[in-house]
Amino acid sequence: MDILNAIVAFVNFVVIPATAYGAQLALGALGATLVYGILRFSNFAQGDTMAFGTMATILFTWWLQSMGVHFGPLPTALLALPFGIAVTAGLLLLTDRFVYRFYRKQRAAPTILVIVSLGVMFVMNGITRLIIGVEEQNFADGARFLVTAGDFKRWTGLDEGLAIKSSQAITVVTAVIVVAWLFWFLQKTRTGKSMRAFSDNEDLALLSGINPNRVVNVTWIIVAVLATIAGVLYGLDKSFKPFTYFQLLLPIFAAAVVGGLGNPLGAIAGGFVVAYSEVFVTYAWKKVLGYLVPADMAPDNLIQLLSTDYKLAVSFIILIIVLLFMPTGLFKGKSS
């Protein structure tokens, strides 16, 4: 019974939140890694693209809600997603047309493009805050829980509760669907193949008649899809505040680098590595250990490696370790 309680506590406070967070990071990192693989620069505006996409989706959600449209037990935001993605894709294509294309024609060094993306980040951040404000916005509706802690305790008779929020379940399911679709697209479709060819060797791809503008535009549209979905899922699960999305940039890049920049599979693995590390290192193990060891050996202190205040530092540490010992990441991406 005690072992069961330990497992339930572990799942409730570590596995479930870390899995949902990992899925959100993985989607964000996929966007960053695609830009790196195909357009060959680190897109610092990724976090704020997510914020912008979420903002657009929130505005459409409110509009749908005001029209009385609801999605049953699911959040209305899922219905608004396509609109949000369309607006975000439009913004990214405009940015590419007026900013990135100029530097691409000059064959600017990746470092310059990184700094350009930093500028784009500030502008996007400003637009988002100008339109929706800096305050926290709540746009989640529908059923809040699949399983509540209280119900779980009643069903099982255990001391520990297990809660699964519907937003967490939606996050994981959506992430699986999106990732599966992306891999099918990259492996099986003509456009996907041409994108991979462009990524592997730009000159050969151009020689074989691939239209570079088309590849670039499709890439931005996919980035808009990934960023908006990741942002909306994060906002549904946690809360939407423009500034917290800006802070997501670090874990996202840590995830992309851990997996190997430019490698989609690596981005997904990296997202979960970063999320689980953050939660493992800052979790206080007192309760779980208390169930597992005999009562007289139960720990008095919290058994916590790092205070939760240092959560963000974990991404930094992972980033540094990977860059020092494994610059190409777990899945052999392009060296950064």
Partner 1 sequence: MKKLMMATATIALMAGSAHAEDAKIGIILGFTGPLESITPNMAASAELAIKEVNDSGKFMDGGTVTSERADSTCIDATAAAAAAERLITVAGVNGIMGADCSGVTGSILQNVARPNGMGMISPSATSPGLSSAEDDGLFFRTAPSDARQGEVIADILTERGAKSIAISYTNNDYGKGLSDSIAAAFAAKGGSVTVNTAHEDGKADYSAEVATLASAGGDILVVAGYVDQGGKGIIQAALDTGAFSTFFLPDGMYGDSLIASIGDGLNGTYGTVPGTDSEGAAAFAANATAAGFDPTSSFTGESYDAAALIMLAMQAAKSTNAKDWSAKVMDIANAPGEKINAGELGKALELIAAGTDIDYVGATAVELVGNGESAGNYREYTVNGGAFVTDKFR
Distance CA(312)–CA(29), nearest Å, equals: 16
Burial of residue 221, with CB atoms counted within 10 A of its CB: 0-12 exposed, 13-18 middle, 19 or more buried: middle
Distance CA(29)–CA(35), nearest Å, equals: 10
Near partner 1 by CB under 8 A: residue from 70, 97, 238, 334: 238
Q: Report, in Å, the least distance between residue 127 CB and partner 1.
A: 20
Q: Which is nearer to partner 1, 242 or 259 (CB)?
A: 242
CA neighbor of 328 nearest in space, from 10, 36, 50? 36
Which string of x and - marks every residue 148-187 that binds partner 1 (by CB under 8 A)? xxx-xx-------xxx-x----------------------
CA neighbor of 201 nearest in space, from 33, 40, 30, 3? 40
Near partner 1 by CB under 8 A: residue from 85, 241, 256, 322: 241
Which string of x and - marks every residue 93-132 that binds partner 1 (by CB under 8 A)? ----------------------------------------
51 scored as a contact of partner 1 (CB under 8 A): no
Ramachandran region, residue 180 (left: φ > 0; alpha: ψ -120 to 50; beta: rest):
alpha
21 scored as a contact of partner 1 (CB under 8 A): yes
Q: Identify the three-state secondary structure at position 137.
A: strand
Q: Report, in Å, the least distance between residue 287 CB and partner 1.
A: 4
Q: Report, in Å, the least distance between residue 284 CB and partner 1.
A: 4
Burial of residue 79, with CB atoms counted within 10 A of its CB: 0-12 exposed, 13-18 middle, 19 or more buried: middle
**Which range touches partner 1 (CB under 8 A), out of 105-113, 142-150, 194-202, 257-265?**
142-150
Residues 298-317 that bind partner 1 (CB under 8 A): 302, 304, 307-309, 311
User: Which sign does the torsion angle of CA 223, 190, 198, 29 carry?
Assistant: positive
Q: Which is nearer to partner 1, 296 or 300 (CB)?
A: 300
